[in-house]
Structure 1
């Protein structure tokens, strides 16, 4: 069913206008923010690489990050050692470094200024509701991926969340499905589905604007661009505007941390690559552990 030009967005922002003045129960007071003392010259990148918990000061207050560091190997091939450190085989490093540099320039001079302006104009409580609405719009895609993966209980959660949040939650602006019915989000991408069928991640790949990924993730991103539910509720150019707005909303929550980590890393490309790979390995180990636990039950 097609909506008229920007009518859905008009309704969303009309409701959000009333939410903007609502108190934020979860917001930290000025005293609480000031009580968190960041270390002098914290060297966040080095500390994160060692798996240490760090506090990042952002425009929205301090954020604690506690990574899970996993050994870096080479996607199914034997890794090599250099000075006792595992070395990742990066066959497309030349292209990836060029794309990483392009992305950094795009972030610094385009996306970060836009993100700062967005955060200045749109209150945090409103940005939170906007993120909820986009997450809810994605639920049908999560449902399909979980169904194909055989995760039928998760697919049921996706269906329940979409029906509840689209109605009681006012087009997904609020999340009564979790708050009232304890139905937790169960996000599933095409990449996750391929992983469930033992499709390996492939070489590391930096995607224009979107950043760190791999060949499996790049295929997932491209495919989801064609089948995303937003394609069925809006026509071009509104469709593309919604997707770009969704991307800006997501990026705005990460822009402060990105700048600090980039500026403090000795080699930003290697640092962000290794953090991505470690995250992938951590998720794979978690999925394996969860699967083994279910089999034992």
Structure 2
């Protein structure tokens, strides 16, 4: 017994010393996804078969490949005058993601059954319908607001707190989502320069303060039990990150530019609810920035 007690501290010290090396040696199943030379053949096969793009379209509601490629003639760099600062924050965020968030998301994806992941995703998506409904009303989108409110009511009750998307089978399809940043755009507030926030990621000068309003329309904000609230928010973040692991394989080249262009292109698309093509949406966003579009326009 005495011998075992004497060895246990040394055993613990050895394990602590070996564990970092073991972590570095472990292969990240998504680690080579962003390396241009890692999967050129896989990319070509996906383009030929169309199966990969189809699955991505089903999972994300849009084709990430199109989001990661700016249309010809678009120059989002004009909306990024603070690129040096943004790249520094991006590097910090990328490091935090690489060593903290992504490993957690990979583990979550590997050990959590698909139906549980879907239920978790449905749960947080249902909570987001509060924000969607609120901003739909502010934007005067009565039909969309009614649809989102109906989804919230049905999925919260019949769908068991939103774990099941029952409303979809009743004809109430999930929308692209609304937030207060989009509301400000509809009200004619210019987007301002592109801005990368520490830990929060891509944004704009207009969307950054809008996050405060979105914070207060998030039902999780009002959970009084701190451990429960923190656990739910952490789960939401990990689930969201895990859902992007597959799309991450499309990132090849300058990750900063790809993510910046994808974010701005997607925001332009959401502001006009996809009613215009991306080129027209970008022109409209630039017109808003210049004060050339009134609130009574297509917005």
**What range is the shorter-chain TM-score in?**
0.5 to 0.7
Alignment of 1:14-33 (within 5 A): none
Residue 104 of structure 1 and its aligned partner are, at CA, apart by: 1.0
The two structures have a TM-score, normalised by structure 2, of 0.67
Rg bigger for which structure? 2
Residue 55 of structure 1 and its aligned partner are, at CA, apart by: 4.2
- Report what 1:72 is aligned to: 74
- Report what 2:148 is aligned to: 158
Query: Relative to 1, partners in 2 of residues 1:164 and 1:123: Cα closer, same or farther, differing over 3 Å?
Result: same
Residue 274 of structure 1 and its aligned partner are, at CA, apart by: 2.0
Alignment partner of 1:278 is 2:277: no
SS at match of 2:163: coil
Counterpart pick for 1:223 among 198, 201, 213:
213
The two structures have a TM-score, normalised by structure 1, of 0.67
SS at match of 1:202: coil
SS at match of 1:213: strand
Residue 130 of structure 1 and its aligned partner are, at CA, apart by: 0.6
Alignment partner of 1:116 is 2:115: no
SS at match of 1:110: helix
SS at match of 1:101: helix
| Unmatched runs of 5 consecutive residues or more in structure 1 | 1-37, 48-52, 75-86
- Report what 2:160 is aligned to: 170
- Report what 2:256 is aligned to: 269
- Report what 1:197 is aligned to: 187
Residue 127 of structure 1 and its aligned partner are, at CA, apart by: 0.4
Alignment of 1:128-167 (within 5 A): 128-167=118-157
Distance across 1 between alignment mates of 2:221 and 2:268: 32
CA contact (8 A) 2:129 2:149 kept: yes
Alignment of 1:221-260 (within 5 A): 221-258=211-248, 260=249
Residue 284 of structure 1 and its aligned partner are, at CA, apart by: 4.6
RMSD over aligned CA atoms reads: 3.4
| More helix by percentage | 2
